[in-house]
Amino acid sequence: MVCRMDCARMRAVRLLVVLMLMSATAVLRADERQSVIVVVGAEGTPEYRQMFSEWTDRWQAAAKAGDADFAAVGRGQSDESSNDLQTLQTKVTDAISVKTDEPLWLVLIGHGTFDGRVARFNLRGPDLSADAAAELLATSQRPVAVINCASCSAPFISALSAPNRIVITGTKDGNQVQFTRFGGFLADAIANLDADIDRDGQTSLLEACLFSARRVEEYYKSDGRLATEHSLLDDNGDGKGVRAELFEGVRVRENVKDKTAVDGKLAKRWHLVRSEAERSLSPEHRMERDRLEEQLEQLRPLKAELSEAEYLGRLEDILLPLARLYETSADPPQANQQQPQ
């Protein structure tokens, strides 16, 4: 009898959360916008120029759909005086000087090199080294994702890894020197609900990366070749990065012993194009939601150890605040601004 009452109570709580998600209205503060900077490297051939241009267009369309600021570096005609590194430094410096919880997405599309010591992203004019990129971002006032889609890009992880930062590379080490197709699949996936693995109405950066990595694998298999690229994701600051093979859906596979060391928790919360429910949340509410959802993830593996009543009680302690959070975010802005009588 008690079990049936507990189960009925939890079903009611879950229904309340769903209703709050459906009724929330989108409110985006004008001064709180995500920023996307796409850097197009030295193409080398007309074939790559066309390809990189198409990838950049997809990022621009995604930024527009997500109501994010967008800037591109390295597009258009070049001459002997072209210095895209200087332009990149200026745009990034301006973007990271804004103190906000809204993230900066820095996307590098092009070719890379690695001489055994220094990894570089090839630009028109001076190249961008991994260490120079780390120095450039050192004073950032906001969360940053660096997505280096180039060959030889893996060393950027050890150089750039930091708390509250996501680093994604197109290769697993500096010796994968062949052209990488990961960037094209990622540009397709970032705003595509086909990559929405957990079906919450939006595609996270983690989902886009996992989806793209599998598309890369399928591409090489269909072409009858061994893959010459394997992407990595680092978002826990340990400078190591993980591959898509460790995940089943958006969760770490059961056979992984130390799940706490696996990246993905931060990237799972990043969405360039947010759902209606997500847009209804202020950055502060989003942080609180993330905290509660982290508690939910920590509770999940304890289900077998706890009694049903205790598990449901802990679950309710998380879901009820979540429901109240969405209820608050759905209120009209003036509702909580009444003047004292």
**Among candidate residues 289, 279, 207, 286, the one with its CA nearest the CA of residue 250:** 207
Residue range 168-172: mean pLDDT, rounded = 98
At 180 the pLDDT is 98
What's the rounded Cα separation, in Å, for the pair 265 and 234? 10
At 21 the pLDDT is 47
pLDDT at 341 over 50: no
pLDDT at 336 over 70: no
At 337 the pLDDT is 32
Tens-digit pLDDT profile for residues 9-43: 555 555 455 444 444 434 444 347 999 999 999 99
Q: Which residue has the higher pLDDT, 266 or 77?
A: 266
Residue range 87-105: mean pLDDT, rounded = 96
At 335 the pLDDT is 32
At 11 the pLDDT is 52
Residue 154 CB neighbours (<10 A): 26
Going through 210-332 in order, the beta strands assigned E by DSSP cover 232-234, 247-248, 251-252
Residue range 311-320: mean pLDDT, rounded = 92
Residue range 195-199: mean pLDDT, rounded = 96
At 327, is the secondary structure helix, strand, or coil? helix
* Burial of 107 from C-beta contacts in 10 A (0-12 / 13-18 / 19+): buried
pLDDT at 132 over 50: yes
Tell how strand 119-121 and strand 232-234 pair up. unpaired
pLDDT at 331 over 80: no
* 3-state SS string for 124-144: CCCCEEHHHHHHHHCCCCCCE
Among 12-26, 32-46, 113-127, 172-186, which stretch is predicted with the lowest mean pLDDT?
A: 12-26
**Among candidate residues 151, 152, 58, the one with its CA nearest the CA of residue 105:** 58
What's the rounded Cα separation, in Å, for the pair 166 and 157? 9
What's the rounded Cα separation, in Å, for the pair 323 and 122? 48
**Among candidate residues 234, 298, 297, 238, the one with its CA nearest the CA of residue 263:** 234
Hey, where are the domains in the chain? 35-274, 281-328
At 79 the pLDDT is 64
What architecture is domain 35-274? 3-Layer(aba) Sandwich (3.40)
At 241, is the secondary structure helix, strand, or coil? coil
Residue 139's φ and ψ, nearest 5 degrees, are -100, 20
Contact 261, 268 (CB under 8 A): no
Residue range 322-326: mean pLDDT, rounded = 84
pLDDT at 333 over 50: no
Residue 17's φ and ψ, nearest 5 degrees, are -60, -45
What's the rounded Cα separation, in Å, for the pair 36 and 39? 10
Q: Using the 8-state DSSP alphabet, how is residue 35 labeled?
A: E
At 185 the pLDDT is 99
Cα distances (Å, whole numbers) of residue 265 to 233, 261, 320: 11, 10, 22
Contact 41, 108 (CB under 8 A): yes
Mean pLDDT of the chain: 87
Residue range 158-169: mean pLDDT, rounded = 97
25: part of which helix (H) or strand (E)? none
Residue range 63-91: mean pLDDT, rounded = 90
At 260 the pLDDT is 64
Structure tokens at 225: 């070749």
Tens-digit pLDDT profile for residues 282-299: 888 888 988 998 898 889
pLDDT at 219 over 60: yes
* Burial of 177 from C-beta contacts in 10 A (0-12 / 13-18 / 19+): middle
Q: Which residue has the higher pLDDT, 112 or 254?
A: 112
Among 223-232, 272-281, 305-314, 318-327, which stretch is predicted with the lowest mean pLDDT?
A: 318-327
